[in-house]
């Protein structure tokens, strides 16, 4: 039967279809590539995250091991801040030599300051602390006269400070802070006003 050519063309080519096996083959290839892309996406994403974490860790590490430049003007504020936190001593002792044996991470030797003689000051204990990005010792001492507890800080004088440190006093956060240097150490004491 004669019909328009277009209709006959549709009928002729319309009879050709892929078998279900062939369709499955093509579809599974398509699926596999999609899954592979997702997996590759996860791997790529994971790599970026891992790389970022490593970079942040390295930045953190170098930031931590690279001390900030010492700023003596802000030191009293920092000491007052720590003092006001009233943190308990991790090591309770009345002996400096014994305290030294516990605070082994310090890169300096704790000293018994001449300004704080034993007949006037009693050692109560100590713990680690951080001042100006440097590891320091935070020591609790009691003044035997007024029975007030003070916080003493000791840290090594940074290399970037050439000139000798002159003693000075400052007030911050309701605390009186005295700073001085002794035996290559920087010392600061804070007490409530």
Among 17, 88, 146, 160, binds another protein (CB under 8 A): 17
Smallest gap from Cβ 32 to another protein, in A, equals 9
Stretch that binds another protein, among 25-33, 79-87, 118-126, 145-153 (CB under 8 A): 25-33
Residues in contact with 79: Cβ distance below 8 Å, sequence separation at least 6, in sequence order: 131, 151, 153, 172, 175, 177, 179, 188, 190
Question: x/- contact string, 36-75, with another protein (CB under 8 A)?
Answer: -x--------------------------------------
For position 10 contacting another protein by CB under 8 A, the verdict is yes
DSSP 37: H
Among 1, 88, 114, 166, binds another protein (CB under 8 A): 1
Tally of CB atoms within 10 A around 172:
19
Smallest gap from Cβ 49 to another protein, in A, equals 23
* Dihedral of the alpha carbons of 67, 73, 78, 80, in degrees to the nearest 10: 150
- Reading the block at residue 128, the tokens are 């680690």
Contacting residues toward another protein, per CB under 8 A: 1-6, 8-14, 16-18, 22-23, 25-27, 29-30, 33-34, 37
């Amino acid at each position: 039967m004669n019909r328009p050519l277009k209709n006959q063309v549709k009928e002729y080519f319309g009879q050709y279809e892929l078998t279900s096996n062939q369709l499955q083959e093509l579809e599974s290839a398509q699926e596999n590539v999609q899954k592979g892309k997702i997996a590759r996406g996860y791997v790529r994403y994971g790599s970026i995250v891992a790389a970022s974490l490593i970079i942040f860790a390295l930045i953190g590490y170098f930031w931590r091991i690279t001390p900030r430049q010492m700023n003596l003007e802000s030191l009293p504020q920092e000491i007052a801040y720590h003092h006001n936190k009233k943190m308990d001593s991790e090591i309770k002792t009345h002996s400096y030599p014994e305290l030294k044996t516990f605070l082994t991470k310090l890169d300096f030797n704790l000293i018994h300051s001449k300004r704080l003689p034993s007949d006037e000051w009693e050692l109560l204990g100590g713990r680690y602390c951080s001042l100006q990005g440097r590891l320091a010792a935070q020591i609790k001492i009691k003044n035997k006269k007024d029975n007030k507890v003070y916080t003493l800080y000791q840290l090594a004088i940074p290399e970037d400070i050439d000139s000798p440190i002159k003693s000075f006093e400052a007030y911050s956060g309701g605390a009186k802070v005295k700073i001085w240097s002794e035996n290559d150490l920087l010392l600061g004491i804070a007490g409530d006003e």
